[in-house]
Amino acid sequence: MSKQLKVKTLWRDLRRAFLIALLAAVVGLAVNSQLLWRVFSGQTLNTVPSAVDESVETILPLPVELAEVRELQASTTLFIDARSREAFAEGHLPGARSLPWGEEVAGVGVLQAEVPLETPLIVYCSGYDCTDSFELAERLIAAGYHQVRVFEGGFPEWRDAGLPVEGAQP
Amino acid sequence: MKNWRTILYHGSRLVLGALFCYAGVVKALDVVAFAGSVANYQLLPYQLNFLVAALLPYVELAAGLLLLLGRQVRPAVVLIAGMNGVFIVALLSVILRGLDIDCGCFRPGGEGHTSAQMALLRDVGIMLLALVTWLGVGRRND
């Protein structure tokens, strides 16, 4: 085989490889169009069956009071902030970790990779009218975390009690 | 002499094809979980993780099927080598950043933890298989 011919066939192979990939990608797009539409239009994925085995009976997360939250501050308990990244940046409980509801699929995956399942978690968001923390807590229990509780008063109750806050508070 | 070369070529072609078919099917069946695996790499913005998770399994499956069928073997090998190169770069970045994540190569959802180092070793093996297949088909009229 001459060198020229080799280069020519290599280009042909590359072109064909690209075409195969393109066709396969189109099939993938078609099959997952609904899911992708949801993701790219910014809707949450609640309606999408998750990877969680639904046959396992999910336990509901228990509420936790402000006084107990204060005591747990110094323990190994990890605080999870379910609010938006912006709200988290403005101010959050000391040592809390941001896991916004709406990014929970990726967020829970990252958390699972970094935080052991036996770590006690307390989830909070922006107070009693906010259900994200409860839903996120359910998702975390389904993901295998053994101790997940919800601080229903959330960030406002913590801040209004005059307790220390981390972040760019005005 | 010619005989064992033929066996080697078909062997590597079929192993590579089966491997990528399996990887593609397993991930295509649970796109959301696989998106989580992609997100663990912390390389892409949130939405692109889903895009990759939706498309990549089908490309893997297509390349794997072509190898199993023995059609368009060279382009399929090029495609697999290309994807594998991307995987290797991603895994290297994981190791360099010191992330402890499951590679998400086959089963999404992180049952059975395959470390980045192990996955990297496996990908080097896949690269060798691709090379053997490529060289084997080079002497034939495909």
Give the per-residue pLDDT at A130: 76
Residue A129 DSSP symbol? T
% of chain A beyond a pLDDT of 90: 29
- Asked whether the beta carbons of A45 and A38 are under 8 A apart, the reply is yes
Q: Which of A15-29, A72-86, A134-148, B36-50 tops mean pLDDT?
A: A15-29
Residue A5 has a pLDDT of 85
A168, two tokens: 């760019």
Write down the domain spans for chain A. 1-49, 62-161
Window from A56-70, A112-126, B54-68, B91-105 with minimum mean pLDDT = A56-70
Interface contact flag, A20 B76, Cβ < 8 Å: yes
| Residue A29: both structure tokens together | 């797009």
Report the predicted TM-score, pTM, of the whole model to 2 decimal places.
0.63
Q: Which stretches of chain B are DSSP H helices?
A: 2-28, 31-40, 46-69, 73-97, 116-138
Label residue B1 by pLDDT band (50, 70, 90): low
Mean pLDDT rounded to a whole number for chain A:
83
Under the banding of pLDDT at 50, 70 and 90, the label for residue B115 is confident
Q: Could you give the CA distance from residue A98 to residue A86 in angstroms, rounded to a whole number?
A: 10
Q: Could you tell me which CATH class the domain A62-161 is placed in?
A: alpha beta
Residue A35 is predicted with a pLDDT of 85
Q: How far is A72 from chain B (nearest CA, A)?
A: 27
pLDDT of residue B66: 98
- Half-sphere exposure at residue A151, Cβ-oriented, CA atoms within 13 angstroms: 31
Inter-chain residue contact A51 with B55, CB threshold 8 Å: no
Long-range (24+ apart) CB contacts under 8 A made by A75-79 are: A75/A120, A76/A119, A76/A120, A77/A119, A77/A120, A77/A121, A77/A122, A78/A115, A78/A119, A78/A120, A78/A121, A78/A122, A79/A121, A79/A122, A79/A123, A79/A124, A79/A151
Poorest-confidence range of A4-18, A76-90, B26-40? B26-40
What residues in A contact B32, CB-CB < 8 Å?
Answer: 35, 45, 48-51, 105
Residue A33: per-residue pLDDT: 93
Q: Between B39, B63, B74, which is nearest A110 by CB?
A: B39
Q: Identify all chain A residues contacting B74, using CB atoms and an 8 Å cutoff.
A: 9, 13, 16
Judged by DSSP in three states, B93 sits in helix
- Taking alpha carbons only, the member of B53, B57, B63 closest to residue B18 is B63
pLDDT grade, residue A45 (50/70/90)?
low
Per-residue pLDDT at B114: 79
Rg (CA), chain B: 16
Q: Residue A109: which of B36, B47, B66 has the nearest Cβ?
A: B36
pLDDT tens digits for A70-79? 888 878 889 9
Q: Name the residue of chain B whose CA is nearest to A42's CA.
A: B47
Q: Is A20 on the interface with B (CB under 8 A)?
A: yes
Partner residue facing A51 (CB), from B42, B101, B108: B108
pLDDT band (50, 70, 90) for residue A43: low
pLDDT of res. A47: 40
Q: Chain B closest CA to A13's CA: distance in Å? A: 5
Query: In what helix (H) or strand (E) does residue A62 lie, and over which residues does it extend?
Result: strand A62-63
Question: Has residue A122 got a pLDDT over 60?
Answer: yes
CA distance B58 to chain A (A): 5
Question: What is the average pLDDT value for chain B, to the nearest integer?
Answer: 88
Dist CA A124 CA A69 (whole Å)? 11
Q: A103 or B46: which carries more pLDDT confidence?
A: A103
**Cβ-defined contact of A20 to B54 (cutoff 8 Å):** no
Reported as a pLDDT band with limits 50, 70 and 90, residue A52 is very low
pLDDT digits (tens, 9 = 90+) for B60-105: 999 999 999 999 999 999 999 999 999 999 999 999 988 777 788 8
Whether residues A20 and B109 touch (CB distance < 8 A) is answered with no
Query: Residue B75: what pLDDT?
Result: 96
What confidence score (pLDDT) does residue B11 get? 96
What's the pLDDT at B88?
96
- Report the chain A residue with the minimal C-alpha distance to residue B32: A50
